[in-house]
Amino acid sequence: MTETIHVACEGQFQLAEGVQYDDATGHLWWTNINARELWRLDPSSGEERYWILPQRIGCFALTQRHDVVLLALEGGLAQFNTTTGTLKRMATVEPHILETRTNDGRCDRAGNLVFGTQNERGRNALGSWYRFDVHGRLQKLDLPQIAIPNSLCFSPDGSTMYWCDSRLHVLMQSSYDADTGHISNTRLFADPGNARIHPDGSCVDAEGYLWNAEWYGQRVVRYRPDGSVDRVIPLPVSQPSCVAFGGPALNILYISTAREDLGAAAIAAEPLAGSILAVPMGDVRGLPENRWLGAV
């Protein structure tokens, strides 16, 4: 089967990441990390808007208010009101480690934000996974330290947390208790089998299959719950960064991409690098994006 790939936003972003769909408003959100931008698109009208923040955004979460987004900025968490442009600081993250910043994250099925920190100055595993719960408490999760946290998402019942350290080229899974943040039974989920490929952002569909954007892999892969490959979507770009289901029926796969570190020849060969792509998936449907359920 050959999927039809559309361009939702031809943004030429250096590092578009963390794409999410708000099923309540129909808006598509993502970050342009290095430019410190938060973007919003109305796919039905094509209307775009973006905000420039004081720090880079590693990840973010929708909240119970359509005009408030929880941001994981470089040094901590803050609520951002898109109507007033105001920031409300919530928590500081790793102020004692100068080499790290926040990176990938998503909310669990109980409305807590889980995110990781990454080492920006080398390949050593200096980062950690954290949970910012609905009561505003920050908790370090009992997982190995990481260099580049990615692929954070949860099974439909919330009991399995998927994640990776992109530096290690494999996808992992852990048993997860959303009430306490307790982690157990960490094990391999899937191995793409190519040391050049860096697993990046992921999401889980309504059937419990995991979709992963493969940085340098030029494709998105759908994995069965047992970790075997179900299908592959080839892409016209080498650096897909994250995936999310959206649209009124949640059957459009949105893919954020990047043109970071691509030279002129590479960009000429893949002019859609840095765009937000959209792939209609027919009868495959996603799940509504989990929101942070803390007070806003």
For the annotated binding site, the residues are 17, 101, 103, 150, 200
- For 103-135, the DSSP string reads EEEEE-TTS-EEEEEEESSSSS--B-EEEE-TT
The Cα 208–Cα 155 span in angstroms is: 6
200 as an active site residue: the answer is yes
Detail the DSSP E strand segments found in 191-288.
198-204, 210-215, 219-223, 229-234, 240-246, 252-257, 276-280
> From the candidates 104, 165, 200, 205, which is the catalytic residue?
200
Annotated binding site for substrate: 101, 103
- For 51-89, the DSSP string reads EE-SS-EEEEEE-SSTTEEEEEETTEEEEEETTT--EEE
Q: Can you give the three-state secondary structure of 160-190, one letter per residue?
A: EEEEEEHHHCCEEEEEECCCCCCEEEEEEEE
Annotated binding site for a divalent metal cation: 17, 150, 200
Buried b / exposed e along 207-229 (16+ C-beta atoms within 10 A): eebbbbbbbebebbbbbebeeee
- Amino acid (1-letter code) at residue 42: D
Positions annotated as catalytic residues are: 200
